[in-house]
Structure 1
């Protein structure tokens, strides 16, 4: 008897890849057999500054990571379209992502999507100047290159 792979979804902006992103994606991948990553489209990032890098470049960089099985851009109008298409067993949120887990569960239920919602753990820097935030990297570049 063959069983379907356990699909896991992670999502984010992934503007400048850093060790925090890798920690999140590795932890998400460990929750299943396939990791599908949804990269937010620039026009849909409204909770923080829009990404500097183009949608396709951010998607391609995420897709190049060994831990990722499939990377795709989010839907331009409805964030649940890719969730319907992927049909994951688990959606893993980053430890600091702005999403409300209970509201997400309710929205999934309302759309007939049966999947678990989990949150990845935080990762502390391994040494003094290890950056785990895109904003911190940008700040450092600005301070060093001005």
Structure 2
């Protein structure tokens, strides 16, 4: 039992130290500024810079995010190679659940396709932290039934 408790404490402290170093965003207006910067870099075809800039606000385990980030960068290189470079981006909407969660949704536009990006933040106390970035091509999900 002592070993389990020690392992849990060690795991928690490692997780905490990986996320404590991250900066937080003071309000949702600043989130929109940072997510716009993220999307503008994606629209320039520079997923690596986009990820590096927004990752300073991580609210999750840095190693776990690093694996996800590498997949996003790799996927975007593949998509840009097949669909061409993005031509623009547009903010679709933003949603919040109280002062706890905030999501910004964007459309990354290509000549013959579009990708929906969702960027999620969580505010544990004071300050918003990045908890998820995802993208998909399910345009039908954007329409309300």
TM-score by length of 2: 0.25
Which structure has more helix as a fraction of its residues? 2
Task: Identify the structure with the greater strand proportion.
Answer: 2
Give the greater-gyration-radius structure (CA): 2
